[in-house]
Amino acid sequence: MAKKRTKSKSKKTTTAEKKVSFKPSKQNKIIFGSLLIVLSIALFFSFMSFYFTWQEDQSMLSQFADRNAQASNLLNKFGAGVSHFFMYKGFGLASFVFPFLLAVTGLYLFLGLNGKRLISKWIWGLVGVIWGSIALGFFAADFPLLGGLIGYEMNDFLQDYTGKIGVFLILIFVLMVILVRLFNFTPEGFANFFRRQKQKIKSDFNEEPSIHNTQTINEDGEGSIELSTDDKVPEKIDTYTHKENIPPLNEEAGLDVNLPQEEESDIDLKVEETPVEEEETDVTAARLVKDFGEFDPKLELGNYKFPTLDLLEAHGASGGITINQEELEENKNRIVSTLKNYKIGIAQIKATIGPTVTLYEIVPEAGIRISKIKNLEDDIALSLAALGIRIIAPIPGKGTVGIEVPNKNATIVSMRSVIASNKFQKAEMELPIAFGKTISNETFVVDLAKMPHMLMAGATGQGKSVGLNAVITSLLYKKHPAEVKFILVDPKKVELTLYNKIERHFLAKLPDSEEAIITDNTKVINTLNSLCIEMDNRYELLKSAMVRNVKEYNVKFKARKLNPNDGHKFLPYIVLVIDEFADLIMTAGKEVETPIARLAQLARAIGIHLIIATQRPSVNVITGIIKANFPARIAFRVTSKIDSRTILDAQGADQLIGRGDMLYTQGNDVTRLQCAFVDTPEVAKITEYIGSQRAYPEAHLLPEYVGEESGTSLDNDIADRDAMFKEAAEVIVTAQQGSASLIQRKLKLGYNRAGRIIDQLEAAGIVGPFEGSKARQVLVPDMYSLEQLLENEAK
Ligand SMILES: Nc1ncnc2c1ncn2[C@@H]1O[C@H](COP(=O)(O)OP(=O)(O)OP(=O)(O)O)[C@@H](O)[C@H]1O
C-alpha cells in the first residue's frame, strides 16, 4: 500500500513538473525554426526587391487594407510594407542583418543545436546594424535609402555634438571593438595576413616554375608522402612552393638550383607553421564550442531529476545530539578517580560529544608517561562499566590523550542529515561520499576518486551493508546517470538487488548478461577481465588525447577538442562494488585476485574505482597485494585484535560498539566515525524515484570479454581464415603484443571478430595461448619471420 502511494505520489509530482515546464518540445522547435527560416527568406527577397520598386510602391503603403491594390515588390504589399518599415524608416542597407539573424536562429532551432551562443550573435548583429546605419547615414543626403531614417537621425544627432570627424572617429573605434571581440583581430594576425597576400601575389607572377617544383617533389619518393599530408592543408603547399620561388632565379626555375634552397627555406617554414597547426585544432574546437556550446554528457537525460531529500528518513535525530550533563559529569569523575588511583594527575580535561561516543581529552600533568595511560585501557573500561572504550595516546596533532567513551543513548546519524549538510552539498569533489559524522559531530565527506579504492570489513551485523548503501546513496544524490556507473557484485543475492531498478540509469554490465547485478561468482571473472579491457581502452584514449587522467580527458572532450570519430567519448566513472569479497576469493581464488590487483594498481587515473567489502577479514582474503592497493580502509566492529590489524594495520576496531561505529583510515591517521544510517525502505524509495524516470535504452555496456572457454575453434584451416588475418598478424608482430583489443583498435574491428582472429593466430602459431588478463605472448619475433611462416603455410 505504502509503496503504491509513494509511486502515485512520485507520478503526480512528475506530471505536475511537466506542466510547469515551459521548454518547447523538439517538434515545436522544428516548427518554429522552419517558420523563422521562411520568414528570413521572405524578408531577404522583400528587401532586395525594395531597392528596385520602392518608388512605385510608395502609394501602396496607405492602401494596405485594399485587396485590389497591388504592389510591385516580390512579396507584394507585405514585402513593400515590411521593407518600408525596416529599410526606409529603419536602418537602411544594414537591415539585411535581420533576415540573416532570423535564418541563423531558425537553423539553430530546426537542428536542435545548443542556443547559448545565439544571444551573443543577436547582440553583435544589432551592434552591426546600428553601426552600419550610422555609417551609411553620412550619405543620407544623396542616397537616403542607404542608412534609413534611424541611421540618418542618429548620425545627425551625434554630429550635433561631435561634428563629422567626431562621428567618424567614434565609428572607427566601434569597428575596432567589433573586430577585436568578434574576429579576434590582432596586429600580428593582420601582418601575417598581409604577408601571406603579398606572397600569393608574388607567386602569381611565377606560376609556371612553381608547378615545376611541385612536380619535382612528386617524383621524389619521399615527396609524394609529404604531398598526401599536405593535401589536407593546401596552404602549406602554397607557402612551400612560393617560398621556393622567391629567389631571383625565378625566370629560369632551374630545378637543381632550387632544391638545395628548399632546405633553407624549410627552417623558416617550420618555425612559422607549427604554431599555426596547433592553433588550428584549438580554433576548430573554439569554433565548435561557439556554435554548439560545450559538449553536455547529461543532455540525453536532460530532464533527469536528482533524488529529493524527502525520500530519506530523519530517524528521529534531526534535532542533533541530546547532551546528558549528568552522564558527562559522572564519566569525567570516574576517569579522573581511576587515573588518580594509578597516581596519574590530570592538568585539564575536555569533552567533545559525538553521536555515539564522547571523547574526553585529557592533558596529563608534567612527567607522566603516556604509555602508562595507554596500559590502563581495561581498568578505565572496568570503572566506567562500558564497552568500546578506546584510548588514543596521544591524539595526533594535539598534545592530549583521548579517551573515547560510548554514550548511553547513541544518536542515529541519519543519511538525510549528512546529505543535507552544507559540507556535502557544496563538496567540490569528483565522487563525494558522505560517510557519517566524526566524534566532534562534523559531517565527514571524502572523495572516492582520491581514495582511490576502498576496503570495507567488519564482523557480520555491524553495519557493513548499511555502509555500502551509504556510499552508493551519496553518489546517487550527487551524480547524474551520465557521470557514474556502478558494477554491483552481490553473492548474497539480497543486499544489492534493490538497485536493479536503476539498471538503465546507473548500472553497467557485460553485453551478453541478462542481469546487471552479478550474483554468480563465476561471472565476476568475466566482468573483471572486461573491466581490464575497458581500462586498457581508456588508457589508449588518454594517451591519444595527451592527458593524464580521466578528469582532464573529460574536460578536453567537453571543450570539443577530441574528435568522436577517432573513438573519443565521454568517460563516466565506473565504481565496482563487491560485497562478500571473501566468498569470491574462496570460490574463484587467484583468478579474481590478479585482475583485481591489476585494476587496483592501474585504474585510478582512468576513473575506475573499486569498493570491496568482506565480513571475514583474514589474511588469505585481504592479502598483501590487495592491502597494498587499497589505502582507504574502513573497519566496522571486528571480534579480534588480529582482524583489526589485518584491516587497519592498527588495533581499535575490536573496541568499537557496532551499529555503524567505524574506523576510517586513508594512510596514517585513523578516524572514528559514526556511519550514516540508511534503511532498506529508504534505498527502495530512492531507486524507485530514479527508476521511474526516463532512462537510457539499456545498461552501460562494458567491452565484450571472450573467455578461455569460448575460443574453441582452434583448427588451422587457411581457407576459413578471416579476410583481415594477415593484417592482424602484421599488427600483432609489429607491436609484439598479442591482444584482441589491439587488433580491434588498429583495424577498427568488433571485439568478436578480433577475438576470432586471435584464435586463428593462435592456431597458426603466431601468438601463444590465453593468459588471463595479460596479453598473449607473440611467438613470431619480426615481420620477416612472419612472412616466411605464412609462405611456408601456403606451400
Ligand atoms: N549506521 C548505523 N546506525 C545505526 N544502526 C545501524 C547502523 N548500521 C547498522 N545498523 C544496525 O545494524 C544492523 C545490521 O547492519 P548491516 O545489515 O549493515 O550489517 P552487516 O555488517 O551488513 O551484516 P551482514 O554482514 O550480516 O550483512 C542494521 O539492521 C541496523 O539495525
Cα 463 to ligand 1 centroid, rounded to whole Å: 3
Q: Which range has the top average pLDDT, 204-218, 375-389, 499-513?
A: 499-513
Least reliable range by pLDDT among 24-33, 184-193, 519-528:
184-193
CA-nearest residue for atom 28, ligand 1, is 463
Q: What percent of the chain has pLDDT over 70?
A: 81
Task: Tell me the CA–centroid distance for residue 431 and ligand 1, in Å.
Answer: 24
Please report the atom of ligand 1 found closest to the CA of residue 410.
Answer: 4
Residues 156 and 46 in one domain: yes
What is residue 654's DSSP assignment?
Answer: G
SS3 of residue 450 by DSSP: coil
Span 398-443, pLDDT tens digits: 778 888 888 888 888 999 999 999 999 988 899 999 999 988 888 9
CB of 491 sitting under 6 A from ligand 1: no
* Residue 674 Cα: closest atom of ligand 1: 1
- Same structural domain for residues 53 and 123? yes
- 517 and 635 in one domain? yes
In a domain, 585, yes or no: yes
Residue to mutate, 465, 634, 663, ligand 1, most ligand atoms under 8 Å from C-beta:
465
Give the residues across from 467 on adjacent strands: none
Q: Would residue 383 count as lying in a domain?
A: yes
- In this predicted structure, the answer to whether residue 272 has a pLDDT above a threshold of 60 is no
Per-residue confidence (pLDDT) for residue 633, from 0 to 100: 92
Q: Give the contacts of 359 (CB within 8 A, at least 6 positions apart).
A: 351, 352, 402, 403, 404, 405, 439, 440
| CB distance 645 to ligand 1 below 6 Å | no
**Residue 459 counted as an annotated binding residue:** yes
Does the annotation list 286 as a binding residue? no
| Contact 677 CB / ligand 1 (< 6 Å) | yes
Do 214 and 180 belong together in one domain? no
Residue 483 and residue 335 share a domain: no
Same domain (yes/no): 643, 575: yes
Instruction: For the chain, count helices (H), then strands (E).
Output: 29, 15
Residue 445: pLDDT band by 50, 70, 90 thresholds?
A: very high
The CA-CA-CA angle for residues 418, 419, 421, to 5°, reads 65
List the residue whose alpha carbon is closest to atom 18 of ligand 1: 463
Boundary residue ending a domain (185, 207, 228): 185
Task: Note whether 193 and 178 are same-domain residues.
Answer: no
With vertex at residue 269, the alpha carbon angle to CA 267 and CA 274, rounded to the nearest 5 degrees, is 105
Asked if residue 425 belongs to a domain, the reply is: no
Q: Which of 185, 212, 243 delimits the end of a domain?
A: 185
Pocket lining: 412 vs ligand 1, CB cutoff 6 Å:
yes
User: CA 541 to CA 673: how far, in whole Å?
Assistant: 39
Q: Could you say which of 185, 220, 246 is where a domain stops?
A: 185
Instruction: Give the count of domains, the chain.
Output: 5
Mutating to test ligand 1, I would choose from 414, 462, 616, 647 the residue with most ligand atoms within 8 A of its C-beta, which is 462
Q: Whose CA is nearest to atom 5 of ligand 1?
A: 659
Amino acid 454: pLDDT: 92
| CB within 8 Å of 19: residues ≥ 6 apart | none
If asked whether residues 197 and 160 sit together in one domain, one would say no
Regarding the beta carbon of 662 and ligand 1, being less than 6 Å apart is answered no
Closest atom of ligand 1 relative to the 460 alpha carbon: 25
The domain of 244 spans 188-292
684 within 8 A of 498, measured Cβ to Cβ: yes
Q: The domain spanning residue 789 has which CATH number?
A: 1.10.10.10
Pairwise CA distance, residues 674 & 320, whole Å: 13
Distance (Å) of CA 727 to CA 55, 277, 668, 742, 744: 74, 32, 52, 12, 12
Residue 61 included in any domain? yes
CA torsion sign for 158, 164, 169, 172 is positive
Ligand 1 pocket, residue 469 CB under 6 Å: no
pLDDT at residue number 678: 93
- Closest ligand 1 atom to the C-alpha of 463? 18
**Cβ(461) – ligand 1 distance below 6 Å:** yes
Annotated binding residue at 465? yes
Q: Which atom of ligand 1 is nearest to the CA of 677?
A: 1
If asked whether residues 676 and 584 sit together in one domain, one would say: yes
pLDDT digits (tens, 9 = 90+) for 334-350: 888 888 888 888 888 88
How far is the C-alpha of 607 from the C-alpha of 538, rounded, in Å? 9
- Residue 601, domain CATH: 3.40.50.300
The pLDDT of residue 623 is 82
Please tell me the distance between residue 465's alpha carbon and the centre of ligand 1 in angstroms. Answer: 6
> Ligand 1 centre and the CA of 494: distance in Å?
14
Q: How far is the CA of 658 from the centre of ligand 1 (A)?
A: 8
Ligand 1 atom 15: residue of nearest CA: 463
CB 96 within 8 A of CB 55: no
Residue 635 CB less than 6 A away from ligand 1: no
> From the CA of 681, how far away is ligand 1's center (Å)?
14
Measured distance CA(739)–CA(767) in Å, rounded:
9
Three-state DSSP string of 228-286 = HHHCCCHHHHHHHHHHHHCCHHHHCCCHHHHHHHHHHHHHHHHHHHHHHHHHHHHHHHH
- Gap between the Cα atoms of 632 and 386, Å rounded: 29
Give 767-781 pLDDT, tens digit per residue: 888 776 677 888 888
Residue 549 lies in a domain: no
Q: Are residues 160 and 229 in the same domain?
A: no
Residue whose CA is closest, atom 10 of ligand 1? Answer: 659
How many whole angstroms separate alpha carbon 211 and alpha carbon 424? 68
Q: Are the C-beta atoms of residues 423 and 443 closer than 8 Å to each other?
A: yes
Q: Check the annotation: does 462 bind a ligand.
A: yes
551 lies in some domain: no
Å from CA of 620 to ligand 1 middle: 25
Q: Is residue 424 part of a domain?
A: no
Q: 573 CA distance to ligand 1 centroid (A)? A: 28
| pLDDT tens by residue, 17-54 | 444 445 677 788 888 889 999 999 998 988 888 888 87
Q: What is the mean pLDDT of the chain?
A: 78
For residue 636, give the ligand 1 atom closest to its CA. 21
365: exposed, middle or buried (C-beta count within 10 Å: 0-12, 13-18, 19+)? exposed
Q: Is 577 in the pocket of ligand 1 (CB under 6 A)?
A: no
Q: Is the pLDDT of residue 531 over 50?
A: yes
- Other Cβ atoms within 10 Å of 521 Cβ, number: 17
The finding on whether 93 has its CB within 6 A of some atom of ligand 1 is: no
Q: Which atom of ligand 1 is nearest to the CA of 462?
A: 21
Is residue 366 domain-shared with residue 382, that is, in the same domain?
yes
In angstroms, what is the span from residue 471 Cα to ligand 1's centroid? 14
pLDDT surpasses 70 at 277:
no
pTM: 0.58
| Same-domain status, 619 and 477 | yes
Let me know if residue 166 belongs to a domain: yes
CB-based contact 373:339 (threshold 8 Å): yes
Q: How confident is the model at residue 323 (pLDDT cuts 50, 70, 90)?
A: low
- pLDDT tens column, 653-694: 888 888 899 999 988 788 889 999 999 999 999 999 999 998
Mutate which of 435, 466, 493 for ligand 1 pocket (most atoms within 8 A of beta carbon): 466
Asked if 754 and 744 touch (Cβ cutoff 8 Å), the reply is yes
Which CATH number is 351's domain given? 3.30.980.40
